Structure 1
Amino acid sequence: MRKRFYGALVLGSFLLAGGVVTSCSDYDDDINNLNQRVDAVEKTLNDLKAAIEKGVTINDIATTDNGIVIKTSKGDFTIINGTSQAGCTVEIGPNGTWVINGKDTGKPSKGADGEDGKDGIYYEPNAETNTWWKVEGDKKTDTGVSYLAEGTITAVYDKVNGELLLNGVEGYQGTLVISLTTGLKSLVFQPDFYYQGIEAMSVGTYNYTEKTVAKVNADDDFSKDAPTSLKGVAMSPGLVANYHMNPSNADINKIEKLSFISDDKDYTRSEGGVVKATVTSKEAKDGILTVHAQLTDGTIKDINTDGKVTVLALQANYKNAEEKVDTTITSDYAAVKAVDYNDMVLAHADATVDHTKHLYATAAEAIKNEAEYEIVWNHEGMDVAELVQTHYDDLSSGTSVHEAWDVNAKSGTVEKYGFEYSYELVGYHKGENKTSESAHAAMKGSVLRPQMPKDGKQQAFGAEQNQAEVNREPLVRVILRDKVSNKIASVGYIKFKIVDQAAESSVLLNAQFQFNDKYTVNCTENEHKLEIAWHDFEEDILAKLQELGISKEDFHTNFKLEGGNDDATQYDGVTATSQPATKKGIVKQTISDTGAEQTEIITWTLKNNEAYQLFKNNEAASVVVRYAKEIDATKHIYQYVYVTLTWTPSERNVTPAGKLADSDKIKEYWYATNKPTAGSGYSDIHANVETVGQIGANDEFKSDILNTFVGNDVTVSDVNSVYTAFQNDKLTKEFKFVDPQGTDLTPVTGNSGTQYEITVGKNGTVLYANIKGDLNKYEVVRLINQETPAAGKTIQQSVLEYVDNDVAKDILNYADHKDLDVKETFTAQLEIKPTNCDWVPFTLDNNKFFVKFLRPISIIDPNDNTFTDAETGGAKRDLTLKFVDWRDHNFDGTETKGHNYYEYYGVNKIECLEKDIKTDLNGTSGKFDKLLSSVTDKIKFHFTEPTYQEIQQGKNGIKHYFGTLLYENNGVTVGDFQIQVPFDVTYDWGTIRVYVVCKISKTQAN
């Protein structure tokens, strides 16, 4: 029989609809329908078990009209009753008997009055047997009579064994047991700090002077009470290590053995053996396994002094379902750092940064000084543990640093290391008063409550309160005790003053609730709701307030959720002076009817975008709301109960990402970096003017990037399936120019020799150029839409359009289409930017590439322009030039297939820059480093320009006429020399400068 259930019936087992849900009609006779329902139940249970295996946690179990809903961190699972009929309710009727579905059973729920309460006989339902039990004083007897009608489903949570026990499940006989935990798969160390870059935990030695104190009470005079110091003590409680469990709901009861593997890792040298760590206890909470261990043998090494570091790894032997050891799980290694902590002293929890606000060391010192805290005469209980903390000298850094050990005594920090706090009232008398000041209060644990004495003596906690207590000053002694040796490490005294009214607002409680629902960003405004279940509200708020003497009725009546139940005000902290903060979603309060009574439920609702803004840079998000009780409205004095909701997603999916695979590119359109060979890599694409002879081609410079991708569209792959809103078919993609500033892509040089700075504008869709020092910018390239967008394409602005202006043309014509280095052919970098919603960045790997804008034509000197000096009338030669386009098609070759390339590319003008002619006269042959005019003015060179018609149609039998060169020498005879003549050839896409070398043969007959 399972023992120690989480309460009984309404308090722990989930007997539905306020107690029990029953099926009150006959079973359906339709066998097929029954089979379908059984299959559905089996599927639900299998899905639930699978979810638990993945680390899902059970948040709540609620009733429905025909069964139960098991609410988990990953969704709800519904299980129906044994029949398809409506449920029934169990309640206590007006005559005190149990009533099921409105029918009086006649069985009393409460015994008749008897002597000392032992003779009363009554009946109660038993969750384990599903039968009525007869209660006679301390004796309980099973009547064997079921309180459940046929088909009833009940759910009982066995908290000890981590199991959900279901009875009455359709298609199952007996009790169905579902484990709410799953097998441990891995352990990951949670570091306390980093020891020279290594994840580490500390092993402290707590050095203190032992103290003794006299026994005190609240009534007698102990005004001279003070601790007596004895000898020094060095207390080493061992280490405390924390590990993340995977999954977080792993059952630690199935860990048969925990042990540590230890080692010393070399730096340089070492002395002493390897330390041994023996596990003494373990506990798990919120997915964290905390292990306590004692260290024996060996020594803990120190990097600085030993050249070694001691490391530990936790090893867990885990049992399977058959209770056999079948799995050994080892954590990562963590460093161990020995730390000395000296001179522990009790202090106020609101101590300043320098940690000097200590408690008084003697009763006399506290008595003679002003009271440090005020408490209203009718206060239901102030928790002294929230006012106290411990300070010590931390020697871990090599120097002594006085600092706080814990946030306050309520935090549970010192308990992890073998210490504990205790509190007691110290009696003393003021003036002629016969009654001790401290007799006007009582303590329960750490809670101090003002109350009246009786006959001059303290009464038990909870006695009458009266304004006659005002101005009394009870004294509390706080002790920090070493639990291992039961020795006192520190003693301090606090004096309180009982006042008529609170001088300022106070905080009674800060209830904290954790949620671990996973979060995945998407592009909707779907809401995610986090809910504090009614039983959590009762356990963590109402029950704790009752410990402070505040009843549930008092809370319901007098404490109001600030801002209203539908949208509570959120605060920037949990102090009495905390201010409203920017809201994170909506926190509201609703009322849950648990059957016997009504209880608050708090929900926190966040839209997906709100959650993303919180989680994109943070692992957790919190909101704080508060309930307020008005103490003095005119003085604005209130008592506050804070509620802190923290969402730490077990999965935080906020970085959608994918990849642009090279396999999505058409290989033959792509090039390796700065390489001329197609298919050599996937770094570059080449943009060019329209091809001669294609339908509609008119020498426009437009290139559709999508033509280089498979299917003429960009496909994003390798997106994690969890990001449903960011799969390829959900993404909008854009091409954008990458800012070239700070790269080799700027500045660039034009054909004219002018240098230009390149910048990006219009949201990444235009490249601009400006002459250095000139603020006027000119468009060079822009991204435009396809003229006729293809259906289904996810990118519209995919066409690169080279702009027709003088600056753009100057840049385009700087280098031959074969000269592909970054500083030669004009190059731009682009990136593909996928989005679904503009507020969520999508990371795309391999998304950048380069585009090289190929000069449409090139002009080559054929090196056949030769002249002979002293010819009669001067030497004349028709200029010969070789024109090729970006494909190396010769304008006069067979590859033109009858098309006039000169006309298509708009070759319209050829000019000679006569003043810039250079020569190798009087120098090194072939080295043109002097202007001809600077060497001699007797040699003349003239050029007759061709007309547009002559270029296109030819002259004197020449198919394409480029002009005539005339050479004259009016001086003395000369030998062989050369001149370099610059020509500017103008066509549709600008001007190209070509240098023609003319050879001059020596003077005839000389």
Structure 2
Amino acid sequence: MNKKFLNAVLFGALLASSTGTFTSCKDYDDDINGLSERVDAVEKTLADLNTKFGALAYVKSVSFANGVLTVTDQSGTPTTYTIPDNDTNTTYTLDVTSSREGNVTTVTVTLTGSDNSKIVKTFTITDNDTVTQDTKLDPTKFWMDSEGVMWYGTKDDKENSIKTGVAVPKQPQHDKTTVSVVQYKDETGVVVGWEILVDNQPLSTKLLIQDVLPITSFEYIPTKILAGWGERVIVFEENSYKQKTIVANEVKTSATATLYMSNVAAPQYRVNPSSATLAQLTEEGKAQILKQTVEQVTRTPGVFIDWKKTTIENGIMTVSLEADPALFEDEADKLDMIALQFETTAKNKVTTEYVGVINKDAEIDVVLTDKAVTATNPGDDANHFAITKADAEAQVAKIDDKNMPMTGNAALVQNVTYSEAIAGINLTELVSACNVKDAAGHKFFDYTKYPDLTLSFEAVAYKVNETPQERYMSLDGVTFKAVNYGNVNESCIGKAPMVLAKLTDSHNGNAIVAAAYIKLLIVGDAAAKPEPDITITENATIGIDCNNSAYTWSTNDEFMSTQVYTFSTNEKLTALSKEQFHTLYGYAAAPVVGFDNVGTWNVTEILTAGDNKANRGAKFELTTAPLEAKTYVAYAVYEKTTDADVIVSIANGGMYPKYVAIKHVVKVDPINFTATAKEKAPNAWNGNTASIYCQTPGTTNTTQIIGDLNELFVGGKVQFDYSSSFDAGKFPSFVADNMEYTFVFSEKNLKATRGLVTGVDGTQYQLALNADKTELHAVGKDLTGTAVASAITADNLVASLSDANNNDVTFANTAVAKNLLNKEARGADSFYAVMDIVYENGCDMTVPVTNGEFNLAFIRPVNVSSDASKFFTDGLNEGDPANTLKLGELVTFTDWRKDSPLNSFAANLDYYRYYGVTKIECKGNIADVVETDWTGTRKTLKEAFGAELASQIITITSKNVTYTTAEVTAVPDFGTASYIKSSRVEIKDYKLYIPLTITYTWGTIEETIEVQVKATK
């Protein structure tokens, strides 16, 4: 049920108990405490419908509407409590208590919220007040017999119970059968009983209040006491007035004869039970007037009071009566009294008490006012509506940017909300009236109790800014409806139609009693919240680029007209014309929070000559250079004006978002193609390995190890082919004319990939690169992280690259480089560096080269081997020169070349000087380092012969050699090796393995030579 309305005290009646609880919340279905799944649960649920609110006769009614709880006492005085209408959680409890002191009863009404809020108000009742105990509907007295018939009374006393006429038929049952009871209303919306639903379908019979609880009495609610009599009276007012006319859009008072209204009164009666409805009376509540005079003075019979109308609402009956003023008792000691008699649909008659009636005449001058004028608030002249069209036109009636009435509007302008205006508004609810002829000067005039007075309305034509306001309204009798001109949603908001209100008297040929011009302002239902900001996105995709000529994109008229001005992404907003858009919005030159660019951009507004608010747009210039493979974003932002006059000049201007942004998204694709280095010089390669050598001997050469990597390719340079996916239009920075190549040392040289490298002396290193990969270094094997780069020095340089393409390679003349170079002779195990070819454009963007990686071997300049023609012989005489061999002749020297005699030192003796061979030596204790196969397996001399004899096998004497500029013509004297063993037994052939260290320009070479010892002679 709708819990907001506290006539949830059930159909207007105040039910049993003294406390009622309800919740301030949104509407719920009109179901009442859902019944159980069985039909026979109806009885229990009816009893539980509402056991709230006491039978205290002090409270006449309780109602809740529009956030206000109203408690009305028996005298008709309302006490109000404001309930937060947007609070959907708080439960409120209403407590009614009373205390008595003397002849005064104090009634306290307390409203307590579950949030601990509390409102307390009181009123008093004296013994002189009439308090009628209202007959209450007791829902606990409903019961259902075995046939499904509903009764009202005591279940055990069927004879004295009332048969309601409602029978619940037997219904097919299933697992989810539901039964509920809902309010049943007549065509006017008045609750007259209940309707029972089974599985949400109504039964054919209904439980009506009139079937259960008939009307028992009416109690007159007095408003006047006759002076000198102390008697409650009904006053019939005989009012006279001067007719009004409309002349040239102005309301004027006629100077013609005085007119008289019909003589009427509208007494009110409290109905018992208060849950009764007009449906319980016959002939729409027509009353028979019973008359008498006090002191039993009988007058001439005649009907001098006629019944006009009866209404019952919230337990109060109002009866409209009209009298003939000439027939009222005019003797001072006599008073006419009347009672009203009604017939119920149950055919019984109910008669009110007798109340005095008198006639009162007065001259009135009625003016129409705003609804603030009431019986308790007569107001003043400020409440008078305008009596000229010009005055009404001059009233300020504007809305602000939120579609709310603007501060400074005229007070008499009637604000009507959009949704209510579209649905239809009863204009009579906006209008009240006052009598300015009253002695008090300004008194509320209730025209509604005069059946001959009618308030009507006419549309008044006028313009605001050349826009006819009447086109935004329609009138159907007293119902005003707003009209969206041109079917543009909410286009009527901010418009101010005008009506002419006329109060006419049918008793006098529809003479005008009062008239006024009323301006209505159509406003938003609530403060208009702008729609969310709108962003129109334009996407573009380009290739990665140097962006030397900055990328640009500009909107055109078609884009602005079809994408921006249309607001097509929001169905609530209507498309604007160019002029409207650029009137409502201005270009935001400064950055706007929330619209953050990615990348460096220049975004500017495009203006046409004359700044005519048309054909505008935005230019986007991406100045980031070079472009990365990522997404760049820029915004051109238009910001709505804060000028309320501009906003309201556009239909629904307040709804349009604060910002409209054009978002340009540029996706930069990475390269999707590769390059292939082509036309390697075939003779320069051994598979994927090329080699760098020492310069060959000559008068102008040195022993540098250098080379030109370009010579490895046909034509002396590297040339490239692109894969088929290359698109020169998308990647203009990568066309051949913009590309260059370089050689670099590859990162595959690093420890993570290659591991460690070893020098001739056994030292292990890890290779390292400088920042631009043009230097190769060898550093400590255990270094990690930044320590590797920090360890790079000139002393541990291994090789370097130089020249335009890094094509010139030089092997370093450092101890570390020499150590690595001399580890192996020319061959598969020569020291090498992994190289990369880098192909890049003018802004250092690279294209992967599919075959750009290769190995570059650095070849040791000098090789050493045994001379098989040199040998020792066992058993010769001591000191025989045949057993003393020159070290220079004991070994064979060749340079890095393969072919003899070109590579032979023996054939080219000056090679000793050119390559700087300065020493041949056997390092260490000969017995420990020289080996022999004397025992059949290779062992050191000490192991083979024992320590004493091992020292008597061979002696080696080394000499240092120096060179002059003179050409060498004989093998230099590097010393000798002598076989000194004295044979005590005959021996066969065996071998000596002598480790020699050769020192030359590029370091030292360690080579073990094999010397034959021939058998004993």
**TM-score in terms of structure 1 length:** 0.44
Q: Which has the larger radius of gyration?
A: 2
**TM-score in terms of structure 2 length:** 0.44
